[in-house]
Amino acid sequence: MFSRYKEFYKKEVVPRLIKETGYKNIHQIPKLEKIVINMGLGEATSNSKIIEQSIAELAKISGQKPVIAKARKSIAAFKLRENQEIGCFVTLRDKKMYDFFDRLINISLPRVRDFKGVSKKSFDGRGNYTLGVKEQLIFAEISYELVEKIKGMNVTIVTTAKNNEDGYKLLKSFNFPFRN
């Protein structure tokens, strides 16, 4: 099984980055390491049914079973108890990562209402990019009729880039839709 975007990386992105950055060794070129999709569910403190729905939706979107995030300590102001389920996340690598990245760029992001591109400012200083999605309905796998509550999520693209410029060049060479 091959991934379309993995082949694209090897055949087009690597030569383009060698030309742009001037790296001599092919192993210096930044690449995608993993993609983490996180759904923080603060309202799960009052309604535990939301966690189950979110896990099912995140499993459909990512293609693998999510891990449940639990509270580390109790916070009375938020009505939060230790070990209470407050979210879910999934870490994608290799083929599933490239397949999700392909669907995110070519199918999901263009479905966002009034989409003009994503900000260049969401890099963390080490070449990793985090993107906030306001509703899960942009993913084609989610049926509008079955959704009871619209939930957002964070998509973090972790790269091997050493700085933001290299991370930006990597994502730009994948045709990531940055704002001009």
Residue numbers of the domain that contains 54: 4-173
Report the CATH number at residue 117. Answer: 3.30.1440.10
Does 82 map to a domain?
yes
In a domain, 54, yes or no: yes
pLDDT band at 133; cut points 50, 70, 90: confident
Other beta carbons within 10 angstroms of residue 34's beta carbon come to 15
Residue 179: inside a domain: no
Whether 180 maps to a domain, the answer reads no
This prediction has a pTM of 0.83
Number of structural domains the chain divides into? 1
How does pLDDT run across 67-102, given as a tens digit for each residue? 987 887 887 877 777 877 788 889 999 888 998 888
Residue 101 CB contacts under 8 Å (≥ 6 apart), including other chains: 5, 32, 35, 157, 174
Specify the long-range contacts of residues 50-54, CB closer than 8 Å, at least 24 apart: 50/149, 50/151, 51/85, 51/88, 53/148, 53/149, 54/87, 54/88, 54/151
Is residue 178 situated within a structural domain? Answer: no
3-state secondary structure of 115: coil
Does residue 113 sit within a domain?
A: yes
The pLDDT of residue 42 is above 80: no
